[in-house]
Amino acid sequence: MSSTTILLCVSVTAFLVQTCYGGATAEATGPLFHFCSDSGGNFTAHSPFESNLKTLINSLIYKTPPTGFAVSTIGQPQNQQAYGLALCRGDASPQDCKTCLSEATKELRSRCQYNTGAIIWYDYCEFKYLDTDFFGQVDNTNKFYMWNLNNVTDSTAFNHKTKELLSKLALEASTNPKLYASGEMKLGGGGESNNNKMLYGLTQCTRDVSSVDCKKCLDEAISELPNCCDGKQGGRVVGGSCNFRYEIYPFLNN
């Protein structure tokens, strides 16, 4: 894998934010993005919610790594219960998963200190908590895009291939018990120099949603390809319940 410097951009349409940062093609270790939510007001230090949240975090760091996904509810009903979910990328080892969640939860606690809801994403994991039960509902609120600033040469053919690969992977993920799929496709068709170029992709949903909702969530994300990643060498649409990523270099562990 080359270590050429590339620029990654992040865009959050709801807030009209767009930031870019330089990086290498290796996986980033820092957070990709986060949202703090105070729709339910803020909680206070030493409240039952804070204590439930701390227990929730420890529970998810323990429960998630063996399978890559877990949900947990901590606290007595009607007494500031904390609901949480953790997901690791389908190819992450239990150790990578645990390391990522430890980092993500620590980071989120410091970035959204008294928020009753928050979500954070890393390359290898996602963590979300809320003061209400959100399990099984597709999260259409928290979403961001990332793309590689570099353009491909033949964007029309490339965009078509990207959509084809991701649509196939969306169907595969929705029918896989882990709601995850990865794959590759020959780009070809662009003359001699393109003959052995490949496109790599992944699709994944959080496992609290149904197979049908997973497919719907991914199809919706894929429909945003023209907005996020038109002719770009790499791109992602990342939401609370599903995400996809494609690159022209292999980025998965297996």
Q: Enumerate binding residues for ligand NAG (CB under 6 A).
A: 38, 41-42, 114, 149-151
114 versus 135: smaller Cβ distance to ligand NAG: 114
Q: What angle do CA 117, 128, 184 make, to 5 degrees?
A: 145
**Smallest separation, CB 233 to ligand NAG (Å):** 9
28 versus 149: smaller Cβ distance to ligand NAG: 149
Pair 56, 70: CB distance under 8 Å: no
Give the integer Cα–Cα distance in Å for 82 and 44: 14
29 versus 47: smaller Cβ distance to ligand NAG: 47
Burial of 90 (0-12, 13-18, 19+ CB in 10 A): buried
DSSP string, 16-56: TEEEEEEE-SSPP-S--EEEEEEEEEE--TTSHHHHHHHHH
**Smallest separation, CB 124 to ligand NAG (Å):** 27
**Smallest separation, CB 105 to ligand NAG (Å):** 18
**Smallest separation, CB 201 to ligand NAG (Å):** 21
Give the integer Cα–Cα distance in Å for 25 and 35: 25
22 versus 77: smaller Cβ distance to ligand NAG: 22
Handedness of CA 61, 32, 246, 5 (dihedral sign): negative
118 versus 173: smaller Cβ distance to ligand NAG: 118
**Smallest separation, CB 133 to ligand NAG (Å):** 21
Q: What angle do CA 31, 36, 37 make, to 5 degrees?
A: 150
Give the integer Cα–Cα distance in Å for 170 and 175: 9
Task: Identify the CA nearest to 130 among candidates 111, 112, 144, 110.
Answer: 112
36 versus 252: smaller Cβ distance to ligand NAG: 36
**Smallest separation, CB 240 to ligand NAG (Å):** 21
Amino acid at 32: L
101 versus 228: smaller Cβ distance to ligand NAG: 228
**Smallest separation, CB 151 to ligand NAG (Å):** 4
Q: Which helix (H) or strand (E) holds 11?
A: strand 6-12
Give the integer Cα–Cα distance in Å for 194 and 22: 26
